[in-house]
Every structure is written in C-alpha cells, then in structure tokens.
Amino acid sequence: MGTMALSQTLRQPGPEERLIPGLRWLFQAERALAGLVPLELGYLVARPVADAVHALWRSKREAARRNYARLLHRRPDDPQVRRLARASFRHFAMSIAELLLVHGWTPEDLRDRVTVHGEEHLWEAQAHGRGTIFVSAHMGSTEVASALLLIYGHRVTSVMNSLRPLWLHQWVVLSRAQMGVTLLPTEGTGLRLLRELRRNGLVALVLDLGVQNGDGRPVNFFGHRTFFPTAPARLARLSGAPIVLGLAVRQRGGRFTAYICPPVLPERGGDPEEDAYLTTQRMVQELERFVARYPAQWYPFRDMFPAED
C-alpha cells in the first residue's frame, strides 16, 4: 500500500447515499487535513470538550456511574466511581478525535503505533472457511481496530443503529466506508450477514448494547446477573462461523495495544437456547477480563445491569 493514507486505498461511498448537501465536500476536506493534524493535538482538544459533556449530559453521566458502581461494588456517588465515569467520558472524546484523524494515517503509521497480541487467531478463524464473527465492545479505539482489520485484508460488514442528528449518522457511515466497513441497519439484515459469512467474510458485532437490548438467559458479568444480546451466538450457530473477540486500547505516547482472542467455536449440541447461552457467557467472560484491566476505556453510557439483581 506504500505511503498512501488508509482511506485512499478504499472505494468511495456510492451515489445511492443521499447526503446532506455539502457533507461529502466537508468530509473530503477533513480527510485531506487528517494526516496533517497530530493525534496528540486532537486529544488535547478532546479533553475539555469531554469534561463539558460530562457536566451537562446528566443521563449518560448517571448511567456510567451506575455501571461502574456495579463493577466496583460501591455506591454511584462514591468518589472512585465518579472519577472513573469522568475518565470514561474523556476516553470517549479521544475516540472521536481518532474518528477524525486515524483515516489519514498510512499503513506504516498504524504498524508503528500499534502492538498486536493474537494476530494469528484471526487467521485461525478464517481457516475454518465459514467466515468470522468479530465481536467487540464500546471500548478503546474502534478506529484503530477497524484499520487493523483493513490492513489485514478483511472485508468487514457490520450493523449500526440510526444516530441523531442525521449529519452525525451520515458522517459515521462515510468514515466507516472509507475504512472499508459496510454498515447495515440493525433491522432485517440477518440474511445479508449470513451471506457474507458464507463468502468467508468478516461480520463485526458489538456485545455491550445495554440490558434493554439483551435477550435469552441471564449471564454473569462482574458477579451480577444481566442480559447481553445473543445475536452473535445465534449467528455463529446458524453459520458455523467461529467468534473472535478483539479490541484496541490506548497506551501512553499515542500508542495502542490490540488484543485478538482465540476463536470460539459455536455450541451446536442440542437446544438452541442453551447453546446461545453458553456461547454468550464465554464472550462476556472475555469482555469482563478487558473491562477489568482497562475500566476507563469502556464507554458504559447505557444501563448494563437490571435495576435490581
């Protein structure tokens, strides 16, 4: 790929995407500037913005505190819980800076900044020939994780809820398209995901969608019973595709560490509900390990636990 920016190696969004007037031009201008702005400067700007949002967005702030209180077995108003929630807002703002800047990096920039643990697990999963279900979370740097999948040669298909305002939704779709990620709506896309897996493609799904979006049997997360979506497990059971959990987290000096876990083969023993529960619990255990290690880089801005255990 030489010294071309990551986004320059990819297709342009198609004409079927009806964008807000001027948004495509603004996006192209931002993309041209992305390679010129140091990531550290983006982080510097992000911090006061994060503190302002933390102060003003009460519902998200309180949801984060409730979730961290469960993790730490403390009260939501505990000083340690409050500090962790504020740090999470700051890390999320850093992820927005990455959304704007990472696609201006070259593949060499990415390799220089990122240390990868478990790269071989992606190839192991791909070798099964049934596609790969890449499961991640609202955590760390989605942009760096997506860029790694790109330079590894993976075609990525994922799903996303509609965002408001509309310009933000379209900006994210454009940005993901530039990084080689096809985003589909959350409703009615199951067959398209299955077809992609049958082509030995990679389907990326998010695990921590909040207790209201969970289903099936309750699983254990940090010693509490709660609900996670079983869609990754059910898709794996239908397709035979292995599930790989992975994410990228920030380190000092504008560097990152990416973790790719060993593939989990879907449970296909008998009862579909039992199989979905067992596979989901295994994924949740992996996620718990990373949240415990990097709690401030998790973005729990929706309730992850029932109101009462």
Tens digits of residue pLDDT in 240-257 = 999 999 999 999 999 999
In a domain, 1, yes or no: no
Global pTM reads 0.91
Which residues make beta-bridge pairs with 259?
117, 247
In a domain, 43, yes or no: yes
Q: Measured between alpha carbons, how far is 23 from 171 in angstroms, rounded to an integer?
A: 8
Residue range 223-250: average pLDDT? 97
Residue 161 has pLDDT above 90, yes or no: no
Which residues make beta-bridge pairs with 203?
133, 157
Domain that holds residue 68: 21-297
- 235 vs 84, 204, 232, 244, 272, CA distance in Å? 34, 11, 5, 13, 11
Q: Residue 202: which of 137, 145, 156, 243 has the closest Cα? A: 156
Number of domains in the chain: 1
182: number of Cβ within 10 Å: 18
**Percentage helix, strand, coil for the chain under 3-state DSSP, each rounded to 5:** 50, 15, 35
In a domain, 3, yes or no: no
In a domain, 185, yes or no: yes
In a domain, 202, yes or no: yes
In a domain, 76, yes or no: yes
Q: Measured between alpha carbons, how far is 258 from 119 in angstroms, rounded to an integer?
A: 9
pLDDT band of 15, cuts 50, 70, 90: very low
Residue range 207-222: average pLDDT? 94
In a domain, 309, yes or no: no
Q: Supply the pLDDT for residue 7.
A: 61
